[in-house]
Amino acid sequence: MSRKFLHVGCVTHDKDLPGLNYNQILDCYCSDPAANEHNIEWLYFPETSPLAKTAIATTTHIAYMVDDLEAAVAGKEMVLEPIEVGPGFKIAFFWEDGALVENCQAS
């Protein structure tokens, strides 16, 4: 299984931060990490988001692109089970060695 660094996800409390786009599936706002020279994805979670009360909304995470999401998260302590957040793009969050990790897969 291959795994490639994708971004670092940082939570912001500034909904008006430039570059934030709304994700209807997760009811949150996020930036495109490819638009940031440091590959930072900024995330804002309104109180209505199902993730607002999870570690995803309070903890910095590191993200990787994987070729088989289901295999990559098998046996992990899940925070968010695999979910499609856009056409052909799935994510999952889990704890690994005390760190919050996101794995992503594009089909």
DSSP 18-86: TT-EEETTTTEEE--GGGSTT-EEEEE--TTSTTTTSGGGTS-EEEEEES-HHHHHTTSEEEEEEEEEE
Give the pLDDT score at 17. 95
CATH number, residue 19? 3.10.180.10
Give the pLDDT score at 70. 97
Give the pLDDT score at 72. 97
Domains contained in the chain, number: 1
What is the domain range of residue 50? 3-106
- The average confidence (pLDDT) of the chain is 96
